[in-house]
Amino acid sequence: MFSQDEDILSAISKVDRPVLGKDIPILIFRVLRHYSQIYMEDLMGEKASNIVFLNAGKELGKKLGEKLHDNDLKKYLENISNFCKEQKIGILKIIELTDNKLVVQLDECITCAGMDNIGKRICYFETGLVAGLVEHFVGNKKVIARETKCNANGEGTCEVSVVF
Ligand SMILES: [Zn+2]
């Protein structure tokens, strides 16, 4: 498929669907998103699968960070928040921001909002995405990110905490 160095985003963003257009139902997104994660868990075990999704999300987050960049952190977060809303990914809320910690919540999360409580947090790709966005801002320094709330865990929102 694609190598890491290729511009995956620009390759996959070219859509030729004159009749059906660019939008899809959210269920179709979720089928792809969750089936690939569940299958990966079966194949390689939950821990390894989680790392794969986390790392994939992080790579995407770093690329997205370049596109949404601003030198001012608050403005950068605003760009990200606007992007999430425009693309219907979710409604981003900054819960905590200090010199070395960021906590964000994603209400109406594209991946998990409204899901039944399955007793675990599942948004590893999304957690990686937030980590990558922060890593981009701090000059690609490694950060520690965890999903601290998830709709799939009955916590009413999707929350990611990042220490940098
Ligand atoms: Zn979640």
Residue 83 CA to residue 91 CA, distance in Å, equals 10
Strands 101-107 and 158-163: antiparallel
Residue 146 C-alpha to ligand 1 middle, in angstroms?
Answer: 11
Residue 3 C-alpha to ligand 1 middle, in angstroms?
Answer: 28
DSSP states of 75-119 as a string? HHHHHHHHHHHHTTS-EEEEEEE-SSEEEEEEET-TTTTT----S
Residue 153 C-alpha to ligand 1 middle, in angstroms?
Answer: 8
For the chain, list the domains and their CATH numbers.
8-163 (3.30.1380.20)
Residue 17 C-alpha to ligand 1 middle, in angstroms?
Answer: 31
pLDDT tens for 25-78 read 999 999 999 999 999 999 999 999 999 999 999 999 999 999 999 999 999 999
Residue 7 C-alpha to ligand 1 middle, in angstroms?
Answer: 27
Distances (CA, A) of 26 to 60, 85, 144, 161: 20, 15, 29, 25
Q: Which of 10-14, 26-30, 122-126, 127-131 has the lowest mean pLDDT?
A: 10-14
Residue 121 C-alpha to ligand 1 middle, in angstroms?
Answer: 6
Residue 108 C-alpha to ligand 1 middle, in angstroms?
Answer: 10
Per DSSP, the three-state class of 146 is strand
In this prediction, residue 3 has a pLDDT band, given cuts at 50, 70 and 90, of low
Q: Between 128 and 12, whose confidence is greater?
A: 128
Residue 13 C-alpha to ligand 1 middle, in angstroms?
Answer: 25
Element (H, E) at 162: strand 158-163
pLDDT tens for 74-125 read 999 999 999 999 999 999 999 999 999 999 999 999 999 999 999 999 999 9
What is the residue type of 91?
I
Distances (CA, A) of 66 to 4, 32, 112: 16, 26, 26
Residue 124 C-alpha to ligand 1 middle, in angstroms?
Answer: 8
Residue 41 C-alpha to ligand 1 middle, in angstroms?
Answer: 17
pLDDT for res 113: 96
pLDDT for res 4: 61
In the structure encoding, which two tokens stand for residue 11, read together?
Answer: 């390759």
